[in-house]
Amino acid sequence: MRKHWVIFITSLMLSHFLWAQPVYFNNRYDLGNDHVYTCSASNSIFGVSGGYIAAAEVDSLCNWGRVGLLKVDSLGNKVFERKYGTGIHSYGIGIKALLLSNDNNYLLAGYKDSALILWKFDKNGDTLWTRTYYDTLYYLSSSTCQLTRDKGIIVVGLAQEKKTGLRQILLLKADSSGKQQWKKIFTSSSNDWGYSVDTCRDGGYIVGSGWNNAQLTKIDSSGKMIWQYNYSSATGLAGGVITTKKGKFVFISAWGTVHKETGFFEVSDSGKLLMSNHYNDTGTSTGPSTLIELNNGHFLDVGQVTDGNTVDGSLLLIDSTGNLLWYRNYKKLKAPNSQNYLRDVKSTLDGGFIASGFCIPSAPDTGKQDVWVIKLDSNGCDSIGHCSSVITSLPEKLDESENVKIYPNPNNGIFTVALQVETGGTQIEIFDMLGQSIYKRELHSAYKSINITSQPPGIYLYRVISGNLNLISSGKFIIQK
């Protein structure tokens, strides 16, 4: 009997150890094995039971004649792929176009020729229904979609006048069966592109749009405009607009005219700009992609950064006050002119992130444009102890008290703490970004050398307290390897 208990406990400990290990993969998927010239590009991903599912644009001649679904397991192995469309029509999908429906099936928003289209698929990717929405005056296409508080679907996109070519904001509301409840086209004197949407606490919607400047539009539950404002410092589309847990609105956009800076903006329920921050050399010339709010109140922005003909996928972690915690970039293809785009990101059950997009090869990289899916840990690292990039923008004062100095900063995990106060009973404690204490020691002298090279690269927090437990200093430092 005792032997059985030993086996059981050992198995339980081993399974816990294996479960606790972060999972990494960085994979490229060809969704068209039937044709040598197939191209594919993922614009949306989320976690499902046993793995992840991504939505993509697919075509045998790279003309985007079909859409597709790709399911992979938790280790990145392909489970199935499905393709929809005949190839004689032009199909496409927007950013963050795939949803998990309230009955645990899949919803996908896109367009077919000049019409908007919604698909519903079961867990195996088989079609349950399709709904197509036309307009006699406008060409319609979708950018993104969201589930609504009444279990319906809201789609934001583009309505382009057939006669003049003028672009306007499209907003379409459907019930859970795809039946159209209302459609609104918000006209203006300039070109506007409906890019992102989220639900609001009052049952209405917030829409991110723009072209040369970012614009937000607040809509009530019936589709009536409440307010609309432009934000001049945001020089691109209002991407990834979301309603935060605090009831505010945040979005991302290009900043400046070079478009190599990412801007992060917070807006009140009435449209007043509350905060704007920007981060150097993190932006993209092709517009922002997706922004999500994490459980700890931080925000994660996914997109890409360009350097000449090279494009790398990128992630930015931003705290609730707009400070950039870390910025990293990623690639699957490594040739100088190959391009790696990320379009969507989600949190995963192991505390990490899953991101999807597409990669375009240039010699010596081979093949055609493929779906790209990358699994990262909670620090945005793409393998154990290795993060693909360094932090390029942070608050100017990482250690915020003249009483304490940490140097060098950044460091490789070995650094010195210098005190300008009495050291009797003084202690330093260091935390990772999850708030877990990883180091605690008493400081017996004015200078203390610390070695925490066992920790992975990232941002770390510290606090220094006196012998009577009063806070002397707190701040941040960086480990780079």
Domain match, 353 and 415 both? no
pLDDT at 238 over 50: yes
Domain match, 90 and 198 both? yes
Q: How many domains does the chain have?
A: 2
Is residue 440 within 8 Å of residue 430, measured between CB atoms? yes
Q: 281: domain CATH number?
A: 2.120.10.30
* pLDDT tens sequence across 104-117: 899 999 999 999 99
Rounded Cα distance between 373 and 45, Å, is 9
Residue tagged 């806070």 (tokens):
471
Domain match, 71 and 143 both? yes
Q: Tell me, what's the pLDDT at 155?
A: 97
Rounded Cα distance between 181 and 167, Å, is 23
* pLDDT tens sequence across 313-322: 999 999 888 8
Residue 282 located in a structural domain: yes
> Model-level pTM?
0.78
Is residue 196 within 8 Å of residue 208, measured between CB atoms? yes
Domain match, 310 and 419 both? no
Domain match, 456 and 351 both? no
Q: 423: domain CATH number?
A: 2.60.40.10
Mean per-residue pLDDT over the chain, rounded: 84
* Residue finishing a domain among 376, 396, 413: 376
Structure tokens at 365: 């990289």
* Residue finishing a domain among 338, 359, 376: 376
* Residue finishing a domain among 376, 391, 418: 376
Is residue 354 within 8 Å of residue 348, measured between CB atoms? yes
Q: Tell me, what's the pLDDT at 61?
A: 64
Least confident stretch, 94-98, 297-301, 323-327, 358-362: 323-327
Rounded Cα distance between 54 and 41, Å, is 10
* pLDDT tens sequence across 351-410: 899 999 999 999 999 988 999 999 998 888 888 766 655 444 443 333 444 578 887 888
Residue 386 located in a structural domain: no
Domain match, 350 and 450 both? no
- List all residues 6 or more positions away from 447 whose beta carbon is below 8 Å from its beta carbon: 416, 417, 418, 419
* pLDDT tens sequence across 276-289: 988 876 665 445 57
Structure tokens at 207: 């829409």
Is residue 291 within 8 Å of residue 251, measured between CB atoms? yes
Q: Tell me, what's the pLDDT at 274?
A: 95
Domain match, 63 and 140 both? yes
Is residue 219 within 8 Å of residue 206, measured between CB atoms? yes
pLDDT at 50 over 90: no
Residue 4 located in a structural domain: no
Domain match, 239 and 359 both? yes
Residue 398 located in a structural domain: no
Q: What are phi and psi of 7, to 5 degrees?
A: -60, -45
Q: With bands split at pLDDT 50, 70 and 90, how would you rate the model's confidence at 260?
A: low
Residue 151 located in a structural domain: yes
| 2 or 374, which is more confident | 374
What letter represents residue 214's amino acid?
Answer: A
Domain match, 343 and 465 both? no
Rounded Cα distance between 320 and 23, Å, is 27
Q: Tell me, what's the pLDDT at 17?
A: 37
Q: Tell me, what's the pLDDT at 406?
A: 84
Residue 147 located in a structural domain: yes
Domain holding 55, by residue range, is 24-376
Q: Tell me, what's the pLDDT at 301?
A: 93
Least confident stretch, 14-18, 281-285, 294-298, 334-338: 14-18
Residue 214 located in a structural domain: yes
Domain match, 319 and 422 both? no
Q: What are phi and psi of 290, to 5 degrees?
A: -135, 145
Residue tagged 């260091």 (tokens):
430
Q: Under DSSP, is residue 401 helix (H, G, I), strand (E, B) or coil? A: coil
Kindly list the distances between the CA atom of residue 173 and the CA atoms of 177, 219, 220, 380, 402, in Å, as whole numbers in the listed order. Answer: 11, 12, 12, 35, 55
Instruction: Count the residues in the chain.
Output: 481
> Residue 316 burial (CB < 10 Å; 0-12/13-18/19+)?
buried
Q: Tell me, what's the pLDDT at 325?
A: 82
Nearest of 64, 146, 179 to residue 113 by alpha carbon: 64
Instruction: Go through 367-382 and write b for each residue having 16 or more CB atoms within 10 A of its CB, e for each that does not.
Output: ebbbbbbbbbbbbbbb
Summarize the confidence of residues 166-177 as an average pLDDT. Answer: 95
Q: Is the dihedral of CA 117, 120, 123, 127 positive or negative?
A: negative
∠ CA 211-389-346, rounded to 5°? 60
Nearest of 323, 306, 305 to residue 315 by alpha carbon: 305
Summarize the confidence of residues 453-459 as an average pLDDT. Answer: 87
Domain match, 435 and 366 both? no
Residue 80 located in a structural domain: yes
Rounded Cα distance between 444 and 12, Å, is 43
Is residue 213 within 8 Å of residue 246, measured between CB atoms? no
Domain match, 423 and 358 both? no
Structure tokens at 40: 């594919």
User: Taking the CB of residue 268, how many other CB atoms lie within 10 A of it?
Assistant: 11
Identify any residues that bridge with 478 across adjacent strands, giving them in sequence order: 459
Is residue 87 within 8 Å of residue 65, measured between CB atoms? yes
Q: Tell me, what's the pLDDT at 118?
A: 96
Q: With bands split at pLDDT 50, 70 and 90, how would you rate the model's confidence at 307?
A: confident
Kindly list the distances between the CA atom of residue 225 and the CA atoms of 147, 171, 204, 445, in Å, as whole numbers in the listed order. Answer: 20, 11, 10, 63
* pLDDT tens sequence across 70-111: 999 999 999 999 988 876 788 889 888 999 898 989 999 999
**DSSP 8-class letter at 8:** H
